[in-house]
Amino acid sequence: MNKQPKTAVILCTCSGIITEKIDWDTVRAHLAEHPDKPVVTTDELACGAENLEKLAAWLKEEKPERVVVAACSPREHERTFRTLLASAGINPYYLQMINVREQVAWVTADPAQATRKAARLIGAALKRVRHHRPLVERRVPVRTDVAVIGAGPAGIQAALTLARAGRRVTLIEREPFFGGMPVRFEELFPNLECGPCLLEPGMGELLHGPESEHIKLLTLTEVTEVKGSFGNWQLSLRQQPRYVNPELCIGCMVCAAVCPERRENPWNCGGELAAVDGPFVGALPNLPHVDATRCLKLNGQECGACLAECPVEGALDFGDTIRDSVVEVGAIIVATGAEELPVVPPAFAGKDNVFSAYAFERLLAMTGPSGGELVKGDGSAPASLAIVQCAGSFDDAVSYCSGTCCQAALKYAHIAAAKQEGLTVTRLIREQVVPGINAARLFGHDHSHVVRYGGLGDLTVAETPNGRVIVCGSNGAEVPADMIVLCGPTVPGSGTTQTARLLELGLDDAGFIAPIHALSGSFLSPLKGVYLAGTCRGPGDIREAFASGTAAAGVALSELVEGRDLTVDPQVAVVDAEQCAGCKSCIRVCPYKAISWDEATKAADISDILCRGCGTCVAVCPAGAITAQGFSRAMLRAEIEGVLS
């Protein structure tokens, strides 16, 4: 049995609020009889600045080894009183707070009962503090480097903002090029600004400007594992071989021209690419890459056409291999974007000249499969274009509005009509959402007819003497439809899902990454040190992507400051290696992966940086080998005994 260390008890009246119910004089009389002989003081308002000074002086004089404060909720003032103890030269973790305001005075009708309950809880605290141990807050330096996952407009913007502040950034992109979605869109809503033109200055800066010294862009790279926590993340990266040396290649694409192997161009939804090629003209970085599944040479056949014709010795490098690396950063910005879900209802399946919104974007683009010409599959010009909006939105699977399809549809109507005089354009809508001052520019000037339809299931496609039409079941309207664009809903991309899984981030109902708060914290994930930008948080347009990229970078800058250390809470769990039975149950249950197996000691080991002190492992350890510092078994037992005696 521990000998009772000298204990001081501070009874706060809370300016009379607590003493309306609790009679501290009675409690003092009770404590005077207490075998532990605590020293006791009553204070009017213990948290007040002057009172704290007075209390510190009293503690310095009394030199107690433990302190019990009976006042308000520890959720409110535990930190205040820890600081008080520290200022009196007492270890701050020798404190135990009793919440007599919220949980006694304010919930108990009878003053005599309230007084008795307060005394009982103080008695328990006196027992508990015997088992308190001095704990020390460790300070660890934080890394101020940042990893940005996803190099679309949000990621690029975040990386540039950070680099301008002098931060080192690793920008991770799984595609062979960067710029995200809008760099593949030739004209952007509402001003028909050119997507690549809008993005290229930033992309150029990133590759060649002064910022480039701070930014390392890794294309064809994915994050495979994330460990660590705020200030100290470790990301394992896997970069697929490009088989092209970026230092030497001059981007002349002679290799692509001579390559005998052809495949469909997945970025263009049509057209062809060589096995060694760039996805589309103008993609940055301006480098081809080799599709290892299609390259003849890499598949053991006699080839080498590209090698023979390449003007730069060593630019093609068939010895290239997968590169695994680890980056250590203080913060992670997730900017993994979203995708269009290509919804093709049965009535449209197998029909020709049916495009998804993305495929239509590429068809309209000068760098796309038709060189920007509005042509049907057979090369002829369409007489009519039907744009089906909400194609899959407001349905069971995707119940929400993607917010940007109306914009895109207005844009398509305008561009298509401009490309081809006399084209009949019809937009089939379920809802129409085009807010914002700028939207009005295209709205009403898009030269399209508008037909409202009930649901995708109502639509059928029929051949009539006048050509192909979409028949709207609900009202029987016939919409001429030589060419059909189905604007599918915006859904989380596979990269977003994968990254959320790696970081164990929660998803919202639609599968996007759930921020800490939808309104006030939409750039913040629930994990400190992980920030969110762009459409990984839900559908959004490019304006939103730029804004959120800047915002996420700003939060990272404000939270990770050079020289501002991280304080490690000592109230974490620790393993007694001697007692550990080696069952590894704790490793499995820790929600923060804070526990690892130490081969040297043959015992579990807990990282104090990762541990959040929940105590789940303590409860699960069959050997009783784990102690939650601050909430140890001995402390809880003493407290339980105390409230029951």
Partner 1 sequence: MSCQTMPNAAAHPAPKMMSDGVPGEVRVVAFLCNWCSYAGADKTGMNQLPVPDELSVVRVMCSGRVEPTLILETFRKGADGVMVLACHPGDCHYKEGNLRAFCRAELLERMMPQLGVDPARFYFDYVSAAEAEKFSQATNDFVASIRALGGTAPGRYAK
Task: Give min distance, CB of 522 to partner 1, in A.
Answer: 19
| 623 lies in the binding site for ligand SF4 (CB under 6 A) | yes
| 635 lies in the binding site for ligand SF4 (CB under 6 A) | no
C-alpha angle 203-205-207 in degrees, rounded to nearest 5: 70
| Size of residue set near ligand SF4 by CB under 6 A | 30
Which one of 104, 198, 572, 638 is in contact with ligand SF4 (CB under 6 A)? 572
Q: Of these partners, partner 1, ligand SF4, none, which one is at the site of residue 256 (CB under 5 to 8 Å by kind)? A: none
| 556 lies in the binding site for ligand SF4 (CB under 6 A) | no
Q: Of these partners, ligand SF4, partner 1, none, which one is at the site of residue 606 (CB under 5 to 8 Å by kind)? A: ligand SF4
Which one of 582, 601, 640, 641 is in contact with ligand SF4 (CB under 6 A)? 582
Which one of 52, 68, 595, 609 is in contact with ligand SF4 (CB under 6 A)? 595
| 593 lies in the binding site for partner 1 (CB under 8 A) | no
DSSP letter for each residue of 528-544: TTEEE-GGGGS---HHH
Q: H/E element holding 633?
A: helix 633-644
| 628 lies in the binding site for partner 1 (CB under 8 A) | yes
Task: Give min distance, CB of 177 to partner 1, in A.
Answer: 37
Task: Give min distance, CB of 120 to partner 1, in A.
Answer: 6
Which one of 192, 516, 583, 634 is in contact with ligand SF4 (CB under 6 A)? 583
Which one of 17, 439, 516, 614 is in contact with ligand SF4 (CB under 6 A)? 614
Inter-CA distances, 384 with 407, 425, 464, 628, Å? 20, 6, 14, 71
Which one of 2, 73, 475, 601 is in contact with partner 1 (CB under 8 A)? 73
Q: Which of 640, 592, 638 is nearest to 616 (CA)?
A: 592
Q: Of these partners, ligand SF4, partner 1, none, which one is at the site of residue 217 (CB under 5 to 8 Å by kind)? A: none
Q: Of these partners, partner 1, ligand SF4, none, which one is at the site of residue 122 (CB under 5 to 8 Å by kind)? A: none
Residue carrying the six token digits 């604007």: 487
Q: Of these partners, partner 1, ligand SF4, none, which one is at the site of residue 236 (CB under 5 to 8 Å by kind)? A: none
Residues 6+ apart with CB under 8 A from 525: 334, 503, 505, 513, 514, 515, 516, 531, 532
| 75 lies in the binding site for partner 1 (CB under 8 A) | yes
- Interactions with partner 1, residue window 490-509 (CB under 8 A): 504
Q: Which of 500, 505, 513 is nearest to 540 (CA)?
A: 513
| 194 lies in the binding site for partner 1 (CB under 8 A) | no
Residue carrying the six token digits 């005599």: 112
Residues 6+ apart with CB under 8 A from 453: 388, 428, 429, 430, 459, 472, 474, 475
| 581 lies in the binding site for ligand SF4 (CB under 6 A) | yes
d(CA 494, CA 35): 65
Residue carrying the six token digits 């994050």: 223
| 135 lies in the binding site for ligand SF4 (CB under 6 A) | no
Closest CB to ligand SF4 among 335 and 580? 580
Q: Which of 185, 178, 242, 239 is nearest to 206 (CA)?
A: 178
- Interactions with ligand SF4, residue window 170-209 (CB under 6 A): none
Q: H/E element holding 68?
A: strand 66-71
Strand partners, 484: 354, 386
Closest CB to ligand SF4 among 26 and 571? 571
Residue type, 82: R
Query: Which DSSP category does 103 fall into?
Result: I
Contact call for residues 209 and 203 (beta carbons, < 8 A): no
Closest CB to ligand SF4 among 279 and 529? 529
Task: Give min distance, CB of 619 to ligand SF4, in A.
Answer: 9
Residue carrying the six token digits 């439809």: 481
Closest CB to ligand SF4 among 252 and 587? 587
Q: Segment near ligand SF4 (CB under 6 A), from 230-238, 473-481, 482-490, 569-577? A: 569-577
Which one of 292, 381, 471, 589 is in contact with partner 1 (CB under 8 A)? 589
Q: Which of 560, 533, 563, 566 is nearest to 167 (CA)?
A: 560
Contact call for residues 81 and 94 (beta carbons, < 8 A): no
Residue type, 219: T
Closest CB to ligand SF4 among 440 and 581? 581
Sort 516 into a burial class: Cβ within 10 Å, 0-12 / 13-18 / 19+: middle
Closest CB to partner 1 among 121 and 338? 121
Strand partners, 8: 39, 67
| 586 lies in the binding site for ligand SF4 (CB under 6 A) | yes
Closest CB to ligand SF4 among 89 and 624? 624
Strand partners, 483: 385
Closest CB to ligand SF4 among 129 and 572? 572
Both tokens of 411, joined, read 């844009």
- Interactions with partner 1, residue window 356-385 (CB under 8 A): none
Which H, E and C letters describe 416-453, residue by residue? HHHHCCCCEEEEEECCCCCCCCHHHHCCCCCCEEEEEC
Both tokens of 459, joined, read 């639509």
Q: How far, rounded to the nearest angstrom, does the alpha carbon of residue 135 sit from its chain's CA centroid? A: 33
Closest CB to partner 1 among 516 and 547? 516
- Interactions with partner 1, residue window 102-121 (CB under 8 A): 102-103, 105-110, 113-114, 116-117, 120-121
| 588 lies in the binding site for ligand SF4 (CB under 6 A) | no
Which one of 612, 631, 634, 643 is in contact with ligand SF4 (CB under 6 A)? 612
Q: Which of 212, 205, 192, 159 is nearest to 531 (CA)?
A: 159
- Sheet with 232-239: list strands edge to edge: 221-229, 232-239, 323-329
Q: Which residues bind ligand SF4 (CB under 6 A)?
A: 572-573, 575, 580-586, 590, 592, 594-595, 603-604, 606, 611-617, 620-621, 623, 625-626, 628
Q: Which residues bind partner 1 (CB under 8 A)?
A: 73-75, 99, 101-103, 105-110, 113-114, 116-117, 120-121, 124, 504, 571, 589, 591-592, 612-616, 618-620, 628, 631, 633, 636-637, 639-641, 643-645
